[in-house]
Amino acid sequence: MIADRGYDSDRLREALAERGIKSCIPGRANRKEPIVYDTELYKSRNLIERLFGRLKDWRRIATRSASSYPFNASVV
């Protein structure tokens, strides 16, 4: 599981480990012991976030153009 620093908690890490899920979550700045994580894998998280952002943008454009289409007004 790849997540940002907001999900850094010992309880979450333990729950993931119990289920056999590897976590890639960087530690917060106030941690006393630094957390070791895969930095290259964490960098790829940005690509995934941008993909979902684009999908949301495309959905907004598609629903806006479909609702403003003149044919819809004549059907209703």
Per-residue pLDDT tens over the stretch 13-72 = 999 999 999 999 998 988 989 889 999 999 888 888 899 989 888 887 667 655 555 555
Is the pTM higher than 0.85? no
- For residue 17, the model assigns a pLDDT of 95
- For residue 25, the model assigns a pLDDT of 92
- For residue 71, the model assigns a pLDDT of 54
Q: Distance of CA 26 to CAs 3, 4, 53, 64, 66, Å?
A: 8, 7, 22, 38, 42
- For residue 69, the model assigns a pLDDT of 57
Give the burial class of 37: count Cβ atoms within 10 A of its Cβ; 0-12 exposed, 13-18 middle, 19 or more buried: middle
Start-to-end CA span in the chain (Å): 46
CA atoms within 13 Å, Cβ hemisphere of 32: 1
Residue 4 has pLDDT above 80, yes or no: yes
